[in-house]
Amino acid sequence: MRKRIGKGSALLFSAVALAALALGAASCGGGPASDAGRTPVLRLSMIPTTDPGKIVRESQPLVAYLEKETGAKVELTVPTNYAAVVEAVANGHVDVAYLGGFTYVQASERAGVVPLVQRERDKNFHSVFVTRPGSGIEALADLKGHSFAFGDVNSTSGHLMPEYFMRQSQVDPEVIARAVYTGGHDATALAVANGKVDAGAMDETVFEKMTKEGKLDPAKIKVFYTTPAFFDYVWAARKDLDPGLAEKFSAAFMKLSAGDPAQKQILDLLGANRYERANDTDYDRLRQAAREAGLMK
């Protein structure tokens, strides 16, 4: 049976429901204001790829930029799990959501969300598999008999695609069946580095950032496998969001330029060089992977 590190799985459903309700309450129930003379409200939410509070704090320059470019008051929330974001956008409590590829296809199937923009690198994204030096793990085949960690069960680069490529490579099924879920990419990296598990799969950009910031010691953790490329993160809007506001949002991201110091700060925060339009059909491979894993019908 799969387990979670540090979080009771029995509380997951309640956490999802409560988080979704909290998002709805924070929005005061309406979405963009329609009355003449009132500033519209644009409710954003992001999946918690790392610590939710840290994401909110670091995203304030992005919030200010979007308010200037869209003319709306931007409200940003980051719940404690991925499923809560899908729940919130499906129930109309969020206008635009930052989703991983898997949460995007879930929200697309459930609520018909509209893909807006994505980073250039999201069209060629990868997961990295990490272990401690000296573990004896040098390739996927070496995982047999070792403990393994995924991130959130609804994560594309922390679960869905790593598991897909593990199955493609005929990794011992027991490694997958006995895997634990840490809840986030940073938690997976630390679980490996601290010896709680022998290996794990995570988002390549989170690994890069944690290493750059000195949060990961190369003496304690290394990459032993990088997956083939796949599509991942995307900003998507609820299907009935005002098209004009959705277009302003998209235009604001595509306007971001590394040549402007203030905008470069935002791009660096988002791990981006530039943004491009996103297309729904690009996620068909993820849909198929989810069905093969029994995670979608």
Residues 95 and 235 in one domain: yes
Q: How much is the pLDDT for 295?
A: 87
Count of domains for the chain: 2
Report the C-alpha dihedral over residues 6, 151, 160, 146, rounded to 10 degrees: -80
When pLDDT is averaged across residues 289-296 and rounded to a whole number, the result is: 88
**Predicted confidence (pLDDT) per residue in 172-203, tens digit:** 999 999 999 999 999 999 999 999 999 999 99
Instruction: Give percent of the chain above pLDDT 70.
Output: 88
Q: At 38, which CATH number?
A: 3.40.190.10
Residues 133 and 205 in one domain: yes
- Say yes or no: 65 and 191 in one domain: no
pLDDT value of position 37: 62
Q: What is the pLDDT of residues 39-52, one digit of tens each?
A: 899 999 999 998 99
Q: How far apart are the first and last CA of the chain?
A: 22
Regarding whether 111 and 23 lie in a shared domain, the answer is yes
Domain of residue 115, residue span: 8-123+231-284
228-256: burial string, b at 16+ Cβ within 10 Å, e else: eebbbbbbbbbeebbeebbebbbebbeeb
Does residue 297 belong to any structural domain of this protein?
no
Note if the pTM is more than 0.75.
Answer: yes
Q: Are residues 110 and 19 in the same domain?
A: yes
